[in-house]
Amino acid sequence: MSTAAAPAVIPFDKREGYIWMNGELLPWVDAKVHVLTHGLHYGSSVFEGERAYKGKVYKSREHTERLFKSAEIMDFEIPYTVDEIEAAKMAVLEKNGGGDQYIRPVAFRGSEMMAVSAQHNKIHVAIATWNWPSMFDPAAKMKGIRLDIAEYRRPDPACAPVHAKAAGLYMICTISKHRAEKRGYADAMMLDWQGRVAECTGANIFFTKDGAIHTPKADCFLDGITRRSVIDLAKRRGMDVIERRILPDELPSFNECFITGSAAEVTPVAEIGPYRFTPGNISRVLMEDYVAEVGAN
């Protein structure tokens, strides 16, 4: 019995299409930076992850404003206005065919200075879009995904710019997700520096108990835009949403669990390490409400 070969994965530097970079729409393969770019060596880079549905970016302006806020936290200024970045996103999205796409704006320090200090480096801005389906198989979503528990923890706000969507903060996320995948999990749940439940490697996390929704207080990690959207959707349904500090010891007391993010959207969870959950009505309703919300965007 023959087995069909897996489809070849096209590297991201070899794809077709266009990328907006520093005010120009460039052929995809021509959007390049130098190997001595400061952002590569010192993590002086901020970015966003967004989705377009039917050619319209969900919560586009909120994402752009957060990009600017992240840059401010990282002590550099994006050399465009919010309106200019909004227009650039639409231009590259349309140039790449519109429809349902993922959008990745990124801003980073260039190569004029190669040291920790880089006050005079040019700030580069690029925006790429590409077709990207749901992170998890929609047909299997209500079965729930499996999460590992990460060894690395989200840092103390006194030790890192935790409210910026900064590239350097994702180093421990990549390590944690790789470890989880090697062990057969889809992702990993991270604790904060005090051992409390925080988030996943690229998504926020929610739990249910006695009909109410509980989610960690976003005081040492990003208050995700999708997180806020789902909280709003739940409140529209009359559900109680409690933002608080959650300890791992509480996990056995919860009924349902789901994660949220621009990439993950709303995805139920069946397992976190030794803890089990049963994806149920609250997860299903919010998953369906979110699909309707972005479709009506």
Q: Mean pLDDT throughout 81-104?
A: 97
pLDDT in tens, 217-250: 999 999 999 999 999 999 999 999 999 999 999 9
Average pLDDT of every residue of the chain: 94
The domain locations on the chain are 18-130, 138-295
Query: How high is the pLDDT of residue 42?
Result: 97
| 140, pLDDT greater than 90 | no
CA–CA separation, 243 and 259 (whole Å): 15
Confidence band of 8 (pLDDT split at 50, 70, 90): low
Classify domain 138-295 at the CATH topology level.
Answer: D-amino Acid Aminotransferase; Chain A, domain 2 (3.20.10)
pLDDT at 258 over 60: yes
pLDDT score for 295: 86
Quick check: 51 pLDDT over 60?
Answer: yes
Q: Assess whether pLDDT exceeds 90 at residue 125.
A: yes
Strand 265-272 relative to strand 275-276, pairing:
antiparallel
Q: Report how far residue 53's alpha carbon sits from residue 163's, in angstroms, rounded to the nearest whole number.
A: 27
CA–CA separation, 15 vs 28, rounded Å?
Answer: 7
Structural fold of domain 18-130: D-amino Acid Aminotransferase; Chain A, domain 1 (3.30.470)
Q: Which of 165, 182, 217, 235 is catalytic?
A: 165
> Do the two domains 18-130 and 138-295 of this chain adopt the same fold?
no
Sign of CA dihedral 257, 201, 63, 194: positive
- Residue 5 CB burial class (10 angstroms; 0-12, 13-18, ≥19): exposed
Dihedral angle, C-alpha 65, 70, 75, 77, nearest 10 °: -30
Residue 235 among the catalytic residues: no
DSSP letters of 116-182?
S--TTPPEEEEEEEE----SS-GGGGGG-EEEEE-SS-BPPTTTS-TTS-BGGGGHHHHHHHHHHHH
Predicted TM-score (pTM) of the model is 0.93
